[in-house]
Structure 1
Amino acid sequence: MGAWVLRKLLVGVAVVASLLSLVGTARLVGPRGEPEAGAVKQLRFLKSALDGGADQNAQELKPEGFFFLNVLYGLSWIQVGMASPELAEEAVREAKWSLDRLNSSPGTAPFDRALAPQYGVFHAGWTNWLRGGIVMLQPVEQRDLAEYTSVSAELAKAFDESRTPYLEAYPGQAWPVDSTVAVASLALYNQLVTPRFAPTVERWVAGVKTRLDPATGLMPHQVTPVSTGARGTSQTVMHRFLLEIDPAFARSQYEVYREKFVTRFGPAVLEYPKGTSGSGDVDSGPLIFGVSLSATTVALGAARVQHDALAGVLAREGELLGVPVSGPDTKRYALGLMPIGDVFVAWSSTARPFVANEQPALPSVSGWWWWIPWLLLVWAPSLVLWGFVRLTRRRIDGRGAADQ
């Protein structure tokens, strides 16, 4: 009797495992809809999470947790509004809500007001990019350009007076990725309003080209107080914005980045260039065989704006590994336990150039067979369980024959 019960239990578990394997297979290789539909559901979930204090909780996890959760929420809405004009009005409203939170006391608390630009290039650059997105979605007659112009002018002045292309985000600390976002906001202003800051943007690109990481030929990760080589977490964000500044330079940098950081198996993004190693930190998260999950998530956005087939592969991997739960109105990954992860997914999955021309298509680095190892992994538990079911059945049958 005990063996029979065990077999029935194993059959039930194997059936459930097989159903989960089917779901995983569908997420991996089945047809996919437009990402904006899922992103809107994510944003509905994120709004409720923000109302519940998720941004304050995120601040305890990383120094810019409050900021990123709010700025990427607003930027994701901007990208959704670009793809779906019927949602543009709601997108502008939600993006303005985000901007107000970023300029509130909690939004500016981690930053130094005395820096040039005010609160440092990280805060000024990201908020100005969001501000430009709001202007872009608004009808021309409704645009209020006063703040956008004044902040852009302050940014341009700081770059023009700097001896380096990379401004400080915190006192005595500078990361090239932050200045890349800021300069992209100036390039956006040049396109939306008037090319007032074109000389600043051109000088910045020229300065960057003379200060590339000698080991990789890419933009470095940090430059002050120490200079460090290129890293995956900052590269993936840079490549979302560099396209808006100089498409040709961006494509050349992106191709080097793909060669040195993107693995063929997975595929995934390494935190350190191939052939080197290092430890993870608050930005990269724990490294798994050198892979940064956060960099891999954000790489989806970089691949999308570069018209890289890698984007589709990363999106399918995310649907498999992120274990999304989708209802009528909301969608969340990892049961919604980490809203800051959800907002990075929403921002990356809907990424699109704001003003840059579409780049020529790039084939995926992993080829057509990338999904085969994943399918084997997805089905392995089911196959093992059915193997136990068969073994148990043989034992039961064998005992029955012996009893006879």
Structure 2
Amino acid sequence: MARLVVPATAGTNGAPPGVQRQLAFLRAALDDGAGDEAQRLFPEGYFFLHALYGLSWVEIGMREERGARSEALREARWALERLDSPSGRAPFSAGLVPSYGVFYRGWSNWLRGGVLGLQPAADRGPEELRRFADDSEALGAAFDAAKTPFLSAYPGQAWPVDSTVAMASLRLHDKLLAPHFAGTVDRWVRAVRDRLDPRTGLLPHRVDPATGAPTEVARATSQSVIQRFLVDVDPAFAGEQYLRFRDRYVAFPLGLGPAVREYPDGTDGPADVDSGPLPLGVSASASVVTAGAAQVHGDTALAEGLTNHSELLGLPLDTPWTKRYAFGLLPIGDAFLAWSKTARPWVSQPAAAPPASLTWWWRLPWLCLLAFLGAAPWIPALVRRSRGWRASKAPEACDDAKRDRSARRQRR
């Protein structure tokens, strides 16, 4: 019950509760080979686990005073080195444009910009600056030359979420270095508006790589990431998209919520390795990542609600040094949760905070259920005690009745 009530986030400025202990657990897991284990679960497992670890440290560093940023900078650089390694590039094709595809280049460029952002301008090394500028230029040239706003992540496969991350990294370039990609970003947003999923009005989950036409309905596993990054690309467009997403995907299954459906309300579809199992249509992974998207958009109530749910259902194990969820069996889940708790915009602020869709009272059904579950083991003992009390009182009641009858006979 406490996990549902105690604040589990700190907004976009404070130190998120428990995240540094989560990162301590993740670093130990990575040192023990968790990246290779994640790679066996899904194609980008190694890359994602290191990327999210590094990005979470960047977020922590942004919240700390300058003197406390050294650890964040060291760990973020360590993660970036792993992305630049043969293991980090292994799943991706060097023959794509840009090389290794938009997924690899977009996420790594975003982390590279975050590493630069942790440093004062005078302290940024020339090699780091050159690499960030060159990678940004390669991404910008690929978008400018493409006939579609959605570049390929793998040969013959394109997901709009990957291009959204890459486009946000170009906006980060223009914030940290000289403005250069404003025209590329504006053309991209216009092209995206012409290729939205007709059923939801959102960016589709998958598209035809040749034309950018939607081939799969918008799904929460990609939308939750899109809503996290789109605010840094175009805040006004992001605000429109976020409200559409929230209205169609946030749900209260069995009256217990909030949670995030993988498919829009009224639609069902198959689960996959990204969504995980879909009980009642809900994706646990999308719910975790949506908490970060809500926080970025200023939707504090929903961010807090989804994070409280993770604290309740994620079975966290706390020690003074580490914190892990689901007994530490799936570190990639811990990485996504740490990244969501630390979420905030890096480039732009939301055009306006969305109207609240959640009140404190969503917790009431959960609290009633937990109170019942907590009381249930004691009910048989209470029933036995009650029966014993009544049985012990029965002889006394008989004696009292006899004395009353005797007294009445004497009076007569």
Tell me if structure 2 keeps the 8 A contact 1:310–1:363.
Answer: no
- Report deviation, 1:53: 0.4
Counterpart selection for 2:4 from 19, 28, 31: 28
Question: Does residue 49 of structure 2 align to residue 72 of structure 1?
Answer: no
**Equivalent residue for 2:164?**
180
Preserved contact between residue 233 and residue 283 of structure 1 (Cα < 8 Å): yes
Q: What amino acid is aligned across from residue 292 of structure 1 in structure 2?
A: S
Matched, 1:230 2:214: no
Match of 1:217 in 2: 201
Structure 2 CA distance for aligned equivalents of residues 274 and 30 of structure 1: 30
Which residue of 364, 367, 370 corresponds with 1:375?
A: 367
Is structure 2 residue 250 aligned with structure 1 residue 258? no
Q: Distance in 1 between matches of 2:55 and 2:80?
A: 10
Structure 1 window deviating more from structure 2 (191-200 vs 155-164): it is 191-200
Inter-partner Cα distance in structure 2 for 1:87 and 1:38: 17
Q: Greater CA deviation, 377-386 or 246-255?
A: 377-386
CA contact (8 A) 1:117 1:124 kept: yes
Match of 2:109 among 107, 128, 131: 128
Compute the displacement of 1:79 (Å): 0.5
- 1:354 aligned to 2:346? yes
Match of 2:83 among 96, 102, 118: 102
1:312 aligns with 2:312: no
Q: Indicate conservation of the 8 Å contact 1:269/1:293, yes or no.
A: yes
1:148 to 121, 132, 140: 132
CA contact (8 A) 1:235 1:257 kept: yes
1:158 to 138, 142, 146: 142
Shift of 1:276: 0.9
2: CA distance between counterparts of 1:376 and 1:281? 33
Range moving further from structure 2, 224-233 or 271-280 = 224-233
SS at structure 1 position matched to 2:270: coil
Structure 2 residues without counterparts, runs of 5 or longer? 397-412
Unaligned runs of at least 5 residues, structure 1: 1-24
Give 3-state SS (helix, strand or coil) of 1:227's partner: strand
Mapped contact 1:124–1:155 kept (Cα < 8 A) = yes
Task: Please state how far the C-alpha of 1:355 moved relative to its aligned partner.
Answer: 1.8
| Residue number among 56, 73, 76 corresponding to 2:36 in the alignment | 56
CA distance 1:366–1:121, change in 2 (3 Å): same
Whether the aligned pair in 2 keeps the contact of 1:286 and 1:292 (CA below 8 Å) is yes
Counterpart residue identity of residue 40, structure 2: E
Aligned partners of 1:36 and 1:83 also within 8 Å = no
CA contact (8 A) 2:73 2:115 kept: yes
2:321 maps to 1:333: no
Relative contact order, higher structure (CA 8 A, sep 6+)? 1
The one-letter code of the counterpart of 1:380 is F
2:187 paired residue among 203, 211, 217: 203
Question: Is 2:205–2:217's contact at 8 Å kept on the other side of the alignment?
Answer: yes
In structure 1, the residue matched to 2:408 is: none
The amino acid of 1:320's aligned partner reads L
> Partner residue of 1:12?
none
| CA distance in 2: counterparts of 1:356 and 1:326, whole angstroms | 35
In the alignment of these two chains, the number of paired residues is: 380
* Residue 21 of structure 1: aligned partner: none
1:112 corresponds in structure 2 to 93
Q: Distance between the aligned counterparts of 2:88 and 2:61, measured in 1? A: 24
Q: Identify the match of residue 282 of structure 1 among 242, 260, 273.
A: 273
**% identity of equivalent residues:** 53
Distance 1:29 1:37 in 2: 14
Deviations 1:202-256 (A, max 9, x none): 1111110110011111000000367111111100000000000000000000011
Secondary structure in 2 matching 1:366 = coil
Give 1:368 shift.
Answer: 2.9
| SS at 1:311 equivalent | helix
- Higher Rg of the two aligned structures: 2
Which of 173, 176, 196 is residue 189 of structure 1 equivalent to?
173
Give TM-score scaled by structure 1 length: 0.90
User: Partner amino acid for 2:360?
Assistant: W
**Structure 2 residue 233 is the aligned partner of structure 1 residue 241:** no
- The Cα of 1:31 is off from its aligned counterpart by 4.8
The 8 Å contact of residues 42 and 332 in structure 1, kept in 2 or not, is answered as yes
SS of the residue 2:156 aligns to:
coil
Q: Is the 8 A contact 1:307 1:359 kept in 2?
A: no
RMSD: 1.8
Distance 1:152 1:31 in 2: 38
1:392 to 2:384 alignment: yes
Letter in 2 for 1:303: A
Contact residue 8 and residue 17 of structure 2 kept, 8 A: no
